[in-house]
Amino acid sequence: MPMGHTATAQAGSGGLTATEHRLANGLRVVLSEDHLTPVAAVCLWYDVGSRHEVKGRTGLAHLFEHLMFQGSAQVKGNGHFELVQGAGGSLNGTTSFERTNYFETMPAHQVELALWLEADRMGSLLSALDEESMENQRDVVKNERRQRYDNVPYGTAFEKLTALAYPEGHPYHHTPIGSMADLDAATLEDARAFFRTYYAPNNAVISVVGDIDPEQTLAWIEKYFGSIPSHDGKQPPRDGTLPDIIGQELREEIREEVPARALMAAYRLPHDGTREADAADLALTVLGGGESSRLHNRLVRRDRTAVAAGFGLLRLSGAPSLGWLDVKTSAGVEVPDIERAVDEELARFAAEGPTPEEMERAQAQLEREWLDRLGTVAGRADELCRYAVLFGDPQLALTAVQRVLDITAQEVQAAAKARLRPDNRAVLVYEPTHAADEAGAADDTTTTTAAGETAAQEGADK
Amino acid sequence: MTDTAAVSMKFHPQPQAGTPTPWAFPAPERGSLPNGLTVLRCHRPGQQVVAVEVFLAAPLEAEPEGLDGVATIMARAFSEGTDKHSAEEFAAELERCGATLDAYADHPGVRVSLEVPVSRLPKALGLLADALRAPAFSESEIERLVANRLDEIPHETANPSRRAAKQLSKELFPATSRMSRPRQGTEETVAQIDSAAVRAFYVAHVRPATATAVIVGDLEGTDLDAILADTLGAWKGDTAEARPVPPVTADDTGRVVIVDRPGAVQTQLLIGRIGPDRHDSVWPAQVLGTYCLGGTLTSRLDRVLREEKGYTYGVRAFGQVLRSAPDGSGASMLAISGSVDTESTGPALEDLWKVLRTLAAEGLTDAERDVAVQNLVGVAPLKYETAAAVAGTLADQVEQHLPDDFQAQMYARLAETGTVEATAAVVSAFPEDHLVTVLVGDASQIEEPVRALGIGDVTVVSG
């Protein structure tokens, strides 16, 4: 078995370390020990997402992810779920533009079971895949699409903005959920071909994080995954690079039955993994993250023209990232008034840059978000896989906080000046078809999954 | 490419579990400050983000007539300025600590949640203390919060699951009960709220003597007593006791209400009634049985509705405590919720009732019970990995008048609960003829098929 190098704790990593290994069949392995709680997370990233899909088969990567829970050679039907849950574990899988991930969080003494299950489906899914599960999961996924996108107000905004921001034919032009027509068109043979092309040990990274014995864990991984043959049938995804600037404002007005007017926009931003992306993240945080941001203060507090106003960042490595603006208007307010205020704030920020206090706040917020992310074994396992798959180096996960803290105010201003411009955005304006009904408030909230990500089952299984 | 990958790997038998490491739900240390504030603290090594949960015994029941929503506006106004900072400054100072502060009002009272990296705990706890001790409640900020709340209401009404929840509360509880009305008020009542009303509610119901702060995280090297003395210890108030609340009652006569949404591609289902809360000895059996019915994708409901029929992305059964009292007169909401495509609405409900009837007739199997216990007990260390999760559960116990070791005991009780008890508990929690069904969907398409099921009278209301 090839030996990996042992990392020592790096500055800003909070004392966390990770080791890397590679099996002969190409499966990359990342291990990180942490004995605070008797739990461990197993996370597998396959380097395939909706960007690998072809015209007429959108949604296939995600539909396939569902099929991964329908049994394999030694695991019957829903056995994957049953065995993990019966062992006191939780599990799910999600699909995004750039990858598909599968994860189990287990009591530490049950880690071997999760490895056995993941290996069984990586090596033998096709021996169990049949028409019955294909038809069933096609219906489940279509209901997922209805529930999360088609039957909620503004539910298709993300899909519409993505289609505007990435041109026709671009690998990120469509979102992971796919279209109803394409979900209907997908065949069992498509699913089989998808598995044969992308589900190989040399197209995956596995991380195991938590209360583990690294030597024993590596031996188990070798035992269960080591005999799965590698293969090289994968075509690289179509090139996702685009010019830095769109060059003109792209715009679509939607007339729909929504409760209020809304202004949404997607700005084209630097690729993830660059200093410029971290600078853009800080710019968006100052402008639209949290309740002390410039847009919140301007629109919600002072002008009182919006119910909510904020920016988010969708980090992407194979295409420009997206800076995501979302403003829901207060009653009676017109969208052009909002747009004018947003443009003023963005122009002022580009001209003046952030104040020292704003930099401090934005960095403190992003630092806490990272601490949250790395504070659970599952979050850490996912980040280690992310940096291994997308950037070739899992250690980068442990130093990500420090990179954000190293960014200067000048870099933040430069990112805003270069990118947060009207000629670099796709805009979606919602105009309600009729006034909202007279009715009182309702209670309860629902769990949602991050934008651009679809999951095997709703929410996290606790 | 061929299927060689599928046949050439070496298979091994399913591995056996290793030796479990003992784990117990953490026991907090309970104490109080000279001002009467109860403090629960819990050291969790490695948890660098500290969670602070404050419970204020200001129940919705205490809101003055016609002012539903005043507790919500008060909760939100805590972070909108104090005697030291304006609203904008307060938000800026909090975020400078990398902290988040959330507050909401529910039937038992108001909850304020702070999360902050431990290095900035003193500063953030100071801000939280200012918010509770000397909130500004300025006229202008309250006006803004009221307007903002009014703008939120149409968004909630448009959301099918929230619309269903609102309708179910209206159906279940007597019109005189606060529980029949939206927690955050209606357009009519919220519009009546002003700064004076918020302050009056605060003066009447918020004081350290009836509040509890739960603090969880890696507290090693933190002099919590000194920090508390300088922050929450400076909060003053009288020693009046919390007001008692009336018992919870509901009408669970089996019936169906369709909230009409012409053109909806799915029907949102919410089927519910009320039942025992955590004070009742049946609770562990009810948790176990409810999990077997609809706790996960492999439970009875999803096994049919999702994995066999494909009607839904997922249907869940759950029990959620509404409000508890020390004398056991509280209640929980027992419900089944999910959404199904419009044309499958009738068949999905028919199957759902079939699942309930089969369960009542044949009971749970020992295997189902075993897997459920293994999951519910086994996931505990995962579920309580973060400080926030531990703090949330400890604060729930306080809010529900339960002992601090309730959750720790709960795991032992679950493990002792047998198949027969779990069956009895879930069958009496979800009796097929005593469930109120709310359907948010296209009445023109679903009304007839639903009537044909005979699960109760059907009425249609506008969306």
Domains along the sequence of chain B with CATH: 29-234 (3.30.830.10), 255-462 (3.30.830.10)
Q: For residues A93-98, give the mean pLDDT.
A: 97
Of the candidates B99, B165, B307, which has its C-beta nearest A136's C-beta? B307
Q: Single out the catalytic residue among A20, A33, A53, A65.
A: A65
Distance in angstroms (rounded) separating the CA atoms of residues A325 and B232: 38
Residues 386-415 of chain A with CB under 8 A from chain B are none
- Does B365 reach chain A within 8 Å, measured CB to CB? no
Beta bridge partners of B126: none
**Where a domain ends, among A225, A242, A259?**
A225
Q: Is A65 a catalytic residue?
A: yes
Q: How confident is the model at residue B44, as a pLDDT? A: 96
Q: Is residue A397 part of a domain?
A: yes
Q: Which two tokens stand for residue A313?
A: 């960042």
- Whether residue B371 lies within 8 A of chain A, CB to CB, comes out as yes
- Rounded mean pLDDT of A65-92? 96
Q: Among partner residues B158, B314, B379, which is closest to A458 by beta-carbon distance?
A: B314
A441 vs B contacts (CB less than 8 Å): 69, 152-153, 156-157, 162, 166, 182-186
Q: Categorize the per-residue pLDDT at A458 as very low, low, confident or very high, splitting at 50, 70 and 90.
A: low
User: Does A40 lie in the same domain as A131?
Assistant: yes
Contact A441 B183 (CB under 8 A): yes
Q: Does residue B214 contact residue B388 with C-beta atoms inside 8 Å?
A: no
Residues A327 and A191 in one domain: no
- Tell me, yes or no, whether A189 and A299 share the same domain: no
**A423 min Cα distance to partner chain B (Å):** 31
Residue A39 lies in a domain: yes
CATH (domain of A190): 3.30.830.10
Domain range enclosing A59: 19-225
Over the stretch B41-91, which tens digit does the pLDDT of each residue have?
Answer: 999 999 999 999 999 999 999 999 999 999 999 999 999 999 999 999 999
Q: Do A126 and B115 touch (CB under 8 A)?
A: no
Q: Say how far apart CA A279 and CA A270 lie, in whole Å.
A: 9
User: In this structure, are residues B298 and B252 in contact, taking their beta carbons and an 8 Å threshold?
Assistant: no
- Inform me whether the C-beta atom of residue A448 falls under 8 Å from chain B C-beta atoms: no
pLDDT 10s per residue in chain B (463 long)? 444 444 589 999 999 999 999 999 999 999 999 999 999 999 999 999 999 999 999 999 999 999 999 999 999 999 999 999 999 999 999 999 999 999 999 999 999 999 999 999 999 999 999 999 999 999 999 999 999 999 999 999 999 999 999 999 999 999 999 999 999 999 999 999 999 999 999 999 999 999 999 999 999 999 999 999 999 999 999 988 888 889 999 999 999 999 999 999 999 999 999 999 999 999 999 999 999 999 999 999 999 999 999 999 999 999 999 999 999 999 999 999 999 999 999 999 999 999 999 999 999 999 999 999 999 999 999 999 999 999 999 999 999 999 999 999 999 999 999 999 999 999 999 999 999 999 999 999 999 999 999 999 999 999 8
Residues A195 and A269 grouped into a single domain: no
Query: Does A314 reside within a domain?
Result: yes
The residue of chain B nearest to residue A461, with distances taken between CA atoms, is B296
Within-domain flag for A371: yes
- List CB contacts of B282: < 8 A, sequence separation 6 or more: B276, B421, B425
Residues A82 and A153 both lie in one domain = yes
For tokens 């651009």, the residue is A452
Residue that has been written with the tokens 């796709």 in this structure: A426
Among all residues of chain A, which has the CA nearest to that of B164?
A442
B5 with A357: Cβ contact below 8 A:
no
CA distance B447 to B262: 12
CB contact under 8 A, B378 and A88: yes
Do A119 and B8 make contact, defined as CB atoms within 8 angstroms?
no
Q: Are A105 and A175 in the same domain?
A: yes
Strands A100-107 and A39-46: antiparallel
* Tally of domains in chain A: 2
B195 contacts: CB under 8 Å, gap ≥ 6: B137, B138, B139, B142, B143
Cβ–Cβ of A146/B1 closer than 8 Å? no
The pLDDT-based confidence of A434 (bands split at 50, 70, 90) is confident
Quote the CA–CA distance of A384 and A31 in Å, as a whole number: 9
User: Is A448 a residue whose pLDDT tops 90?
Assistant: no
pLDDT in tens, A371-426: 999 999 999 999 999 999 999 999 999 999 999 999 999 999 999 999 999 999 99
Taking CA–CA distances from B188, the nearest residue in chain A reads: A440
Instruction: Report the residue of chain A nearest B18, measured CA to CA.
Output: A109
Does any CB of chain B come closer than 8 Å to the CB of residue A89?
A: yes
In a domain? residue A268: yes
Q: Are residues A352 and A405 in the same domain?
A: yes
For the cut 60, the answer to whether the pLDDT of residue A437 exceeds it is no
Q: What is the dihedral of CA B147, B151, B154, B158, to 10 degrees?
A: -140
**Is there a contact between A227 and B157 if contact means CB atoms under 8 Å apart?**
no
| Nearest by CB: B379 against A83, A88, A109 | A88
Dihedral class, residue A290 (left if φ above 0, else alpha if ψ from -120 to 50, else beta): left
Tell me how close the Cα of A243 comes to any Cα of chain B, in angstroms.
35
Whether A142 has its CB under 8 Å from any CB of chain B: the answer is yes
A186 and A268: one domain?
A: no
Which chain A residues touch B12 with a CB distance below 8 Å?
Answer: 116, 223-224
Do A311 and A323 meet the contact criterion of CB atoms below 8 Å apart? yes
Per-residue model confidence (pLDDT) at position A13: 52
Phi, psi of A75 (to 5 degrees): -120, 115
Q: Which residues pair with A445 in a beta bridge?
A: none
Q: Please name the member of A197, A220, A375 whose beta carbon is closest to the beta carbon of B48.
A: A375
pLDDT of residue A194: 96
Q: Are residues A254 and A210 in the same domain?
A: no
Q: Are A284 and A415 part of one and the same domain?
A: yes
The reply to whether B403 touches chain A by the CB within 8 Å rule is no
Residues of A whose CB is below 8 A from B156: 441-442
Place of tokens 């204020």: B56
Residue A457 in domain: no
Q: Which residues pair with B336 in a beta bridge?
A: B271, B317
Q: Are B201 and B89 in contact (CB under 8 A)?
A: no
Do A261 and A205 sit in the same domain of this protein? no
Asked, for residue A143, whether it belongs to a domain, the answer is yes
* Cross-chain residue pair A81–B296, CB shorter than 8 Å: yes
Among A36, A81, A442, select the one facing B45 at the smallest CB separation: A36
Identify the DSSP state of A244: S
8 A C-beta contact, residue A201 and residue A225: yes
Residues 44-103 of B with CB under 8 A from A: 45-49, 69, 79, 87-88, 91-92, 94-100
Strand order of the sheet with strand A90-95?
A: A19-22, A28-33, A204-210, A39-46, A100-107, A90-95, A454-455
The residues in A 148-207 lying below 8 A from B, measured between CB atoms, are 148, 150-153, 193, 196-197, 200
* Mutant choice from A68, A106, A134, A151 vs B, greatest count of B C-beta within 10 A: A151
pLDDT for B217-235, tens place per residue?
999 999 999 999 999 999 9
Q: Which amino acid is at A330?
A: S
Ramachandran angles phi, psi of A344, nearest 5°: -60, -45
Span A141-154, pLDDT tens digits: 999 999 999 999 99
Is residue A460 situated within a structural domain?
Answer: no
Gyration radius from chain B CA atoms: 24
* Residues A281, A175 within the same domain: no
Chain length of chain B = 463
